[in-house]
DNA sequence: CACATTTACTTGTAAAATGCAAGTAATTAT
DNA sequence: ATAATTACTTGCATTTTACAAGTAAATGTG
């Protein structure tokens, strides 16, 4: 994975260089909303990401400071993937994407509850998610 | 451009199928923040999009109901590209991406003003942008 | 009215990213 | 000691993107 030259000096453009590919935000979603934290769990996403792509995206997300690799408390064979603060701060983007989808697309029944929560109290949902994530991180690393 | 099969039933996933490629959000940004509205203007983006890719993305954005093609008031040789309401509603996502970039990346001087506005009053900025866009649309089509 | 220019594309081909199937090395469980 | 788990890698096909050039309709210019 080579360092990608900036396409321009626009904030949107270089944000997209960090997470604007086909998979990165889905990985972030899984780390964030689905409480996944190992390679194996991430590989079992609904979208069936290829394992080589998963590895490549995890590396690039790490290089971009969005996630970090830690020792897994349960086993040396596992790796603990966690969002950094920079990654956690992607929550508002993920939330807005969900809300846009809610307005314009069919949301499957099982996802409606979560999206409703976002809609009812966006700021609260974000605050809550951040707190839950951080609590889970402390739990895992202690 | 074939109809893409849904990768999953996750709202994030199928939102990304509509605008989660390397270029779509930059085109939306130009229509939205840079007041561009023709193929030629969009082709002159800082990021230097290839013309075949631009054409392909414009078609896909249209198929996804995010933009629409209209007759240009000035000339039959021109096409007027406009965001639909569905496209306009991507503003919050673009704003959040800008704010994330502001927090974690170097924003060039010439972009700082706009991003500061977003930061100072997010809701106000979004409301304003929507109003400006709609006023411009009426102006062009009357 | 002839001719150059503008505008919105398309076409051909090279390069890069993604997808699929299989394999490997270091743990860990039995 | 052996089998299973876990986190990857490797090789190759397919798809997407990039670059350079070309085209057709509409418009501007002498």
What pLDDT does B5 receive? 66
pLDDT the model gives residue A2: 40
Q: Point out the residue nearest to D18 (C-alpha to C1').
A: B50
Q: Which residues of chain A have pLDDT under 50?
A: 1-4
B47 beta partners: none
Give the residues of chain B that fall short of pLDDT 50: 1-3
Report the residue of chain A nearest B106, measured CA to CA: A11
What would the pLDDT profile of B51-91 be if each residue is shown by its tens digit? 999 999 999 999 999 999 999 999 999 999 999 999 999 99
For residues B85-115, b (16+ Cβ closer than 10 Å) or e, as one string?
ebbbbbbbbbbbbbbbbbebeebeeebeeeb
Residue A93 neighbours by CB under 8 Å, 6+ apart: A25, B93, B96, B97, B100
Most B CBs within 10 A among A4, A5, A7, A11, hence the mutation to make, goes to A11
The predicted pLDDT at position A3 comes to 43
Residue A6 confidence (pLDDT): 77
Specify the nucleotide whose C1' lies closest to residue A43 (CA): D7
| Alpha-carbon gap, residue B142 to B133, rounded angstroms | 14
Q: What is the bridge-based pairing of β-strands B67-71 and B79-83?
A: antiparallel
Nucleotide nearest to B41 (CA to C1'): C7
Cα–Cα distance, A136 to B11 (Å, whole number): 24
Give the 3-state DSSP-derived string for A60-117, with helices as H, strands as E and coil as C.
HHHHCCCEEEEECCCCCCCEEEEECHHHHCCHHHHHHHHHHHHHHCCCCHHHHHHHHH
Q: Which residues of B touch A26 (CB under 8 A)?
A: 10, 12-13, 16
- Domains of chain B, first to last: 12-141 (1.10.10.10)
| pLDDT at residue A5, as a whole number | 65
Report yes or no: A20 and A39 within 8 Å, Cβ to Cβ: no
Q: In chain A, which residues have their Cβ closer than 8 Å to the Cβ of B22?
A: 16, 20-21
- At A39 the pLDDT is 98
Å from the B117 CA to the D26 C1': 41
Closest C-alpha among A34, A29, A93 to residue A61? A29
């Amino acid at each position: 994975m080579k360092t990608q030259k900036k396409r321009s000096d626009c904030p949107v453009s270089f944000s997209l260089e960090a997470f604007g590919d086909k998979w990165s935000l889905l990985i972030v979603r899984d780390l964030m909303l689905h409480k996944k934290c190992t390679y194996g769990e991430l590989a079992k996403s609904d979208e069936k990401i290829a394992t080589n792509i998963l590895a490549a995206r995890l590396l690039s997300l790490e290089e971009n400071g969005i996630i970090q690799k830690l020792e897994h408390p349960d086993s040396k064979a596992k790796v603990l993937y966690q969002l950094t603060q920079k990654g956690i701060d992607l929550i508002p983007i993920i939330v807005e994407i969900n809300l846009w989808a809610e307005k314009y697309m069919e949301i499957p029944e099982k996802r409606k509850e979560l999206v409703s929560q976002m809609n009812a109290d966006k700021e609260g949902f974000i605050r809550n998610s951040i707190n839950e994530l951080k609590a889970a991180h402390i739990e895992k690393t202690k």
